[in-house]
Amino acid sequence: MAKTQLNVRVDETTAEAARRRARQRGVSVNRYIEELVRQDAGEAGRAFVSAAADFMKQYEAVFAEEFGDAPGRRAAGER
């Protein structure tokens, strides 16, 4: 995958914390920041899926009433 340079300005305390944590993990600061962003993006994705699942549970009866029991649809609680 091609790399893109991203310049970021942070205060010295934050920069030193990033250097220290990267060193503790045995990775470069660049790799450490990449991992943090990937982790954050993953958490946002999981939060979205969780919220969508909660929404569907809350409005399942409304969807069933409107659209009926679609072919191939599993009954509640089935996996």
- pLDDT tens, 9-31? 999 999 999 999 999 999 999 99
Identify whether 3 is part of a domain.
no
H/E run at residue 34 = helix 29-58
Check: pTM over 0.75? Answer yes or no: no
What's the number of domains the chain is made of? 1
CB atoms within 10 A of CB 32: 19
In whole angstroms, what separates CA 13 from the centre of its chain?
Answer: 27
**Higher pLDDT pick, 58 / 73:** 58
Identify whether 76 is part of a domain.
no
Mean per-residue pLDDT of the chain:
84
pLDDT at 52 over 90: no
Provide the domain limits for residue 42.
12-67
pLDDT band at 34 (very low <50, low <70, confident <90, very high): very high
Identify whether 78 is part of a domain.
no
